[in-house]
Structure 1
């Protein structure tokens, strides 16, 4: 199993499956029970969204690997790193508040967004490498990186919201 996904190929295959499901429904073919068609389309949509979003894909792979592991193995995978994530979230929020209070808040928020993007890109690269060798240690590290990426994503959305507010004031 690989973490890397060809997004254009994924979109092409998604559209193909959706077309096929809709054609089957329009033609009234009895290949599936009529009640299953909407459910099938919903599952295809959910699968596409999961595979297209790197964070959702990483969450899914971690869950998938956890299901395959024995209960004794997964017992040690607790909340490690969550306290440091909270501290990092507070620090990022403080950085963002400080940026909006500068003489050029739009420029400062843009700089924060660039830093968040750079950190996310580095963590994403590390996540790819960890999923290439899904040992228990690497999966544990992948879970921590996933938590960090989710934190950075939340902070990015917050910074983008603040940036939009600053632009609307101009």
Structure 2
């Protein structure tokens, strides 16, 4: 099942998320399992399956990174289950440097450095989002897959830094 088709939306990375949310809610109301409680078991099971597909589709499309991953999966790039290794040695070295920087910030408990670090990470993430949007629009699937891998790294790194920030704020 194609989730773009399910929500009657064009297959596009740049998506009108308010239309997605409206269609999600309309489909949820229509196929909610409670609406089929008095129907035969086959219809109840079908409604349950449809409701699960609607939820799965909404989760796949509502945020940019999972949406990019989903679009790539439609074109044969399963980012979640692949064994592909990134060959961009410059990026791999940058990853090591960024992780070391975050470790140093954590050891020194430097809140100002963490704030700057998070700002830089979020800026790089934003820049890569623009790149992947163009790559997906141009149907440059292998390049977009590499960019999504980079975005995943920046997302995890930002989450780690934000968790560190929250930990420090709880003291």
Q: TM-score range by the shorter chain?
A: 0.7 to 0.9
User: Deviating runs (4+, > 6 A) in structure 1?
Assistant: none
Q: Which whole-Å deviations, capped at 9, do the CAs of 1:56-105 have from their partners, x for residues lacking one?
A: 111111121127xxxxxxxxxx5342665543332221111222344x62
State the TM-score, normalized to the length of structure 2.
0.79
Alpha-carbon distance, 1:50 to partner: 0.4
Distance 1:95 1:27, change over 3 A: same
Instruction: Give the aligned CA root-mean-square deviation in angstroms.
Output: 2.4
Q: 2:125 aligns with which of 112, 120, 129?
A: 120
Aligned length: 155
Aligned partners of 1:81 and 1:144 also within 8 Å: no
Q: How far apart in 2 are the matches of 1:63 and 1:85?
A: 23
Q: SS of the residue aligned with 2:105?
A: helix
In the aligned structure 1, how far is the partner of 2:29 from the partner of 2:94?
Answer: 45
SS in 2 for 1:34: helix
Write out aligned runs for 1:1-170 (5 A): 1-22=11-32, 25-26=35-36, 28=38, 33-66=43-76, 78-81=84-87, 86-102=92-108, 105-134=110-139, 138-169=140-171
Using the size of structure 1 for normalisation, the TM-score is 0.80
Unaligned runs of 5+ in 1: 68-77
